[in-house]
Amino acid sequence: MVSNRHHSWSSPRQTFPVNPGKNYVVSIHFKLLNLPTGHAYAKVIMILDLTVNGHHHHPVIANMPLQRLKYGWTEIKMDTTNAGIYLEIPDTEVNFLLDAASAMELPHNPHWLSDATHRIDTLRKAPVSFKLHEGVNEHGIAIENHINFDLPMNAVSALRSHGLKVRGHNMFWGVDQFVPQWLKGKSRSELLASMKKHVHEVISRTTGKGIKTQALRFKNDGIPVYGLGLEGHFYTHDIDMDVLKYRLDKIAESGLKLWITAFTLSDTDNNRKAANLEKDQKIWHKDDALFTGANITPNAAGQKYLDLFHKTWKTYFTHNIQPGHVVQTHAFKGDYLLNIKKNGHLIHQEHFGLDSTANDIIINLTNDQDVSHFTFG
């Protein structure tokens, strides 16, 4: 047990040998025994004990700001390239237990790109088949992808009017400097009531607007979570794909659906930025500063983004078709508009969606209409 602490950094330390250029995953299990007086939470952080040219550095490598007694034994974990770690709890009156400290070398995967491409094909595509109803003459098919709420809702309406999909971001942000002053000091019941009211206000205004929300549903004392939104902000051009893949896999262990809700690359070299954009997107499948100038011309990174999302990750397919015959393929999941054409002229349209399950499309036309082929993309 760690008790009678006089400094925030008073805690046992774990050191281990490392090899240059290698990545390591370090983990410590802890259990809080009490909370700071007058507080419902305690902050727990993991510190790296680093010595460079005789100078000591102590960067924060993991941060868990809202820890409660009911969580029991908790794992704090992070990857690093250096040795020497310890826990720091700013409130010295907090006592805690430590157990199961470990360090593991993170192996390098030289085949990460081919693995990522395979995952995209496996997870983001689904089988679809097309059959021209018996009795229809042969001869043309094309399928193509296709507070004050006034300001945000007007923006949503403008986006939707141009056919753009909209997703709501987080309704709550549990970071001290972003918590409104009027919320502080509320009791637990008052805080929950305010949060439920905010959820109702947002949902009641966005329902039917074509907005995919990331709202949390409140039930009893728990908050069922069906997904996690991840932010990725890279302040270096030297991105380690092994580390990035490990962190995503670790979060995926929750079994929840994951969304990349924010993504930035800080790099003045647009060609290098484009290369990193492609690698990152293939690992997790939005980047700022992709376009420049008054005419909104895509730079190298912007063009790479357009190529990925409008070419590489869209399905374009053409095939001849005859009555009664089945044409099968795999296509990226999403919503499609099926355009039936005869000699280049549109004769029929229908919508269909493609999700994780196979989809069988039966094309029904009148007997006097000729069809020769279909295309979708």
Domain containing residue 37: CATH number? 2.60.120.260
3-state secondary structure of 51: strand
Question: Residue-wise over 66-97: b if at least 16 C-beta within 10 A, else e?
Answer: ebeeeeeeeebebbbbbbbbbbbbeeeebebe
* Helices vs. strands in the chain: H and E counts, helices first: 6, 25
Scanning the structure block, which residue is given the tokens 């760690």? 2
pTM of the model: 0.56
Q: Report if residue 36 sits inside a domain.
A: yes
Asked if residues 284 and 248 have their Cβ atoms less than 8 Å apart, the reply is: yes
Q: Report if residue 93 sits inside a domain.
A: yes
Write down the pLDDT at residue 216.
43
The whole-number mean pLDDT for each consecutive block of 10 residues of the chain, a chain of 377 residues, reads 89 80 86 91 87 79 88 81 79 91 87 87 84 54 54 85 78 75 76 84 78 47 69 86 86 80 84 86 59 61 78 76 75 80 74 78 62 56
Q: Report if residue 98 sits inside a domain.
A: yes
Scanning the structure block, which residue is given the tokens 């939707």? 160
Q: Report if residue 289 sits inside a domain.
A: no
Write down the pLDDT at residue 290.
47
Q: Report if residue 84 sits inside a domain.
A: yes
Question: Residue-wise over 327-360: b if at least 16 C-beta within 10 A, else e?
Answer: beeebbebebebbbbbeeeebbeeeeebeeeebe
Asked if residues 27 and 14 have their Cβ atoms less than 8 Å apart, the reply is: no
Domain count, the chain: 1
Q: Report if residue 76 sits inside a domain.
A: yes
Query: Distance between CA 78 and CA 104 in Å, rounded?
Result: 11
Q: Report if residue 65 sits inside a domain.
A: yes
Q: Which domain holds residue 61?
A: 13-106
Write down the pLDDT at residue 214.
47
* CA-to-CA separations, 211 to 57, 165, 215, 261, in angstroms, rounded: 46, 7, 11, 14
Write down the pLDDT at residue 96.
92
Q: Report if residue 198 sits inside a domain.
A: no
Asked if residues 280 and 239 have their Cβ atoms less than 8 Å apart, the reply is: yes
